[in-house]
A and B are shown apart, each in its own frame.
Chain A
Amino acid sequence: NAGVMQNPRHLVRRRGQEARLRCSPMKGHSHVYWYRQLPEEGLKFMVYLQKENIIDESGMPKERFSAEFPKEGPSILRIQQVVRGDSAAYFCASSPPSGGTEQYFGPGTRLTVT
């Protein structure tokens, strides 16, 4: 019974490149949340998606960031033209179709922008 999977675990990008972070939710889960953890900070909500729909993107920067959760395949968080300030750990969490308060977190992707 696999948990939430994220890949890659570590990603290094040069300024101006694109970063693609993938999240496969737990089996049977159709709700995905993305959070960002900056150094010395707690996690900050970015976006909440259900299959093929963005429900709440109030925590996403308005530019360069986008997210999707297609009918088939993992959820993708895309960061275009990365800058040093994007360096952080990005965590994905999933919850079942019934919703509910409990979220299951993946191990995170640590993005370093050089």
Chain B
Amino acid sequence: GNSVTQMEGPVTLSEEAFLTINCTYTATGYPSLFWYVQYPGEGLQLLLKATKADDKGSNKGFEATYRKETTSFHLEKGSVQVSDSAVYFCALSDPHSGGSNYKLTFGKGTLLTVNP
């Protein structure tokens, strides 16, 4: 079955540090890949996505590149801010689920804390 493995946290960084959160996946076919962010007490917000190999998703300074050869979708940001403190989830949707079914498979999440 499908699975997503992401770097265990928590990750603690100082403001303006470089961020990498690793994510690898197992899936049949060509899934779409996503990063979601969850702020304390809130639901998930889509941060970025990529739908095919070598696509780069980007948003708010965050980037991730769909690497089919390494089955990876690592999240990066060049300079983090205190406001980036949240839980980050890597996820995939499998086009083989059938029809319009794009159910998501999530990693366990990585808690990021950015200190001033």
Contacts and interface: CB of A to CB of B under 8 A. Distances in A.
Interface of A: 4, 6, 31, 33, 35, 40-45, 48, 50, 55-56, 59, 91, 93, 95, 98-108
Contacts of B42: 107-108
Interface residues of B, number: 27
B7 to A, nearest CB: 13
A107 B40 CA distance: 11
Interface of B: 4, 32, 34, 36, 42-46, 49, 51, 89, 91, 93, 97-109
A33 B43 contact: no
A101 B114 CA distance: 30
A101 to B, nearest CB: 4
Nearest to A50: B100
